Amino acid sequence: MFEKKPEAEIKMLTIKEAAALVDGLTEYRVRELCKTGKLPCFMAGKKYLINKEILHKFLSGESVNQ
What is the reported pLDDT for 1?
55
**Domain spans, the chain:** 12-59
Strand partners for 13 = 50
Q: What's the chain look like in SS3?
A: CCCCCCCCCCCEECHHHHHHHCCCCCHHHHHHHHHHCCCCCEEECCEEEEEHHHHHHHHCCCCCCC
Contact (CB, 8 A) for 30 and 18: yes
What residues are paired with 42 via a beta bridge? 49
Task: Give the pLDDT confidence of 6-65 residue by residue, as tens digits.
Answer: 667 889 999 999 999 989 999 999 999 999 999 999 999 999 999 999 999 999 988 776
